[in-house]
Chain A
C-alpha cells in the first residue's frame, strides 16, 4: 500500500507571486521546484524529461523561470514548460511533461508535498 509522508517545502508567504524555488527533500535524488502564481502553487521534480533519468533545470540557485517569468525553463537547452500543466511547449522534450508533485496547502499557509516513503530514490 502506498504510504506517504507530508513534507513541508516552504511557506506560501515566503514565495513571492510569480517566483520559483528549488527545495531539497530527504529521499529524493533531485530537488522539488515550487512555483507560485497568485494563490495557486505548483510543484514539479527538478528533472528535465529530455534525458533519462532527468537533469537539473536551474541556471543558478532557484533560477527556474524563463527570462520574462512566464514559464518554467530547463537551462540545459532552453526547453520551456507551462507552469499550470508542466507540459513542454518548446524545446528538446516537446510532447513530454515535468513530473508533478502533489501538494497540500495547510491552514497555516504551509506548502506540503506528499512523498512516498517506501520509494527512496538513490540515483
Chain B
C-alpha cells in the first residue's frame, strides 16, 4: 500500500465565492472553477476542492461544524488501489468508480477516496542560504529577497483531524493502511506518515469530544522559511486573519504560520519539515506550549529606527 499522502481535501461550503477569493489569495490556482466550485491547486497539482454544501456529488457531511467532506489520498499505482480495496472491503463498503478510484469511509466516519496520485513532480530549488564555513548556496549577485519574489504553496503537506476516539483512528490508519507513527504529543495524539512519503507527518490527530469531530487544520509546503514569511506577510497585509505564528514547531521541525479561513479550518503555510525513514524511533512529549514550538513570533506593522528624534505631527 504505497500511499503518498493527501492529493486533495474536499469541502462542502455555503459561500463558494468567498472560498474562491480566499484560496486564490492564499496562493492556490483555480483550475476549471465555476459557480459550482472546483479545484484550487498548488504548484504540484495537489490542492483543495470546494463544492456547495448541498452538492449531490459530495459524501454526506459529518454531524458537526466541520465542512470537510472527503480526503483524497494519492497512491503510487493501480495495484495499490487494488490492495486497499481488498483490505478495506473485508469489513466495509468500498465503491469503485469509472475512473479507477475507490471511495470508502474510515472507522471514525471520515470519507476517503484513493486514486493514483495526480501530483506532478516538481523541479525547483529549495530556499538557498549562505553561511560561513559552508559553500555558498547562492551565486555571486544572486539575491535572497526581492520585492515581487514568488511565494506560492508547492504541495499539500498534511491535515490534522479532531477525533473522539484516538485509538480507533491510529489503529485504522496504521494497521489497515500502513501509516507509521513518527512522534507523539501525549494528551493530543500522534503524528503519522504513510509508507511512500518520508515527510515527518501527513496526518496528525487531536483527541476531542464527539461534537468537535472534523478537520483542525491543513498545510501546504513552501519553498523555505523566507517564502513562508513573505507569503504570510502578504496575506496579512491583504486583510486575512493570522491565528498562530510565524514560528517553528519542535516535532517535525517545520516552520509554521496559521490563518483563519471561510472553510471552517485553519490554513497553514509550512516549510522545511524533517524527513524520516523506518530507522526512526518515535519520541513522546507532553502536549503543552513549550513542546509545541521552538519559537513563536507575531507580525507587527513595518517600522524602522530612523535618525530620530521624530518631530511631532
- Do A and B pair up? The answer is yes
User: Is A110 in contact with chain B by the CB < 8 A criterion?
Assistant: no
How many residues of chain B have a CB within 8 Å of chain A?
A: 27
Determine whether the beta carbon of B239 is less than 8 Å from that of A60.
yes
A75 touching B65 in the complex, CB below 8 Å, given contacts A56-B243, A59-B241: no
- Chain B residues near A74 (CB-CB < 8 A): 260
Shortest A90–chain B CB gap in Å is 5
User: Is A16 in contact with chain B by the CB < 8 A criterion?
Assistant: no
CA distance A2 to B261 in the complex (A): 38
Interface size classification for chain A: 20 to 34
Determine whether the beta carbon of B240 is less than 8 Å from that of A60.
yes
Within 8 A of B (CB), among A28-68: 55-61, 63, 66-68
- Chain B residues near A12 (CB-CB < 8 A): none
Interface-lining segment among B76-84, B94-102, B207-215 = B207-215
- Chain B residues near A94 (CB-CB < 8 A): 211
Determine whether the beta carbon of B260 is less than 8 Å from that of A92.
no
Determine whether the beta carbon of A92 is less than 8 Å from that of B240.
no
- Chain B residues near A76 (CB-CB < 8 A): 243, 260, 266
- Chain A residues near B31 (CB-CB < 8 A): none
Residue of A nearest to B18 (CB): A67
User: Is B64 in contact with chain A by the CB < 8 A criterion?
Assistant: yes
Determine whether the beta carbon of A60 is less than 8 Å from that of B214.
no
CA distance A58 to B22 in the complex (A): 12
A77 touching B264 in the complex, CB below 8 Å, given contacts A67-B13, A92-B208: yes
CA distance A121 to B11 in the complex (A): 37
Determine whether the beta carbon of B260 is less than 8 Å from that of A58.
yes
CA distance A80 to B14 in the complex (A): 13
**Which one of A63, A79, A90, A94 has the highest number of Cβ atoms from chain B below 10 Å of its Cβ?**
A63
CA distance A66 to B211 in the complex (A): 19
Determine whether the beta carbon of B262 is less than 8 Å from that of A63.
yes
Determine whether the beta carbon of B65 is less than 8 Å from that of A57.
no
User: Is A91 in contact with chain B by the CB < 8 A criterion?
Assistant: yes
Shortest B170–chain A CB gap in Å is 22
CA distance A94 to B63 in the complex (A): 13
Shortest B129–chain A CB gap in Å is 33
Selected from A60, A61, A68, A91, the residue in CB contact (under 8 A) with B22 is A60
- Chain B residues near A67 (CB-CB < 8 A): 13-15, 18, 262
Determine whether the beta carbon of B261 is less than 8 Å from that of A75.
yes
CA distance A55 to B243 in the complex (A): 7
Residue of B nearest to A55 (CB): B243
User: Is A27 in contact with chain B by the CB < 8 A criterion?
Assistant: no
- Chain B residues near A78 (CB-CB < 8 A): 65-67, 214, 263-265
Residue of B nearest to A57 (CB): B260
Residue of A nearest to B261 (CB): A59
Give 10 closest A-B pairs by Cβ, nearest first: A78-B264, A67-B14, A67-B15, A75-B260, A91-B65, A78-B65, A61-B239, A59-B260, A92-B212, A90-B65
7 contacts between A and B (CB under 8 A): A75-B261, A76-B260, A76-B266, A77-B162, A77-B264, A78-B65, A91-B212
Query: With A58-B241, A59-B22 given, can you name 8 additional A-B contacts, CB distance below 8 Å?
Result: A66-B14, A67-B13, A77-B216, A78-B66, A78-B263, A78-B264, A80-B65, A91-B64
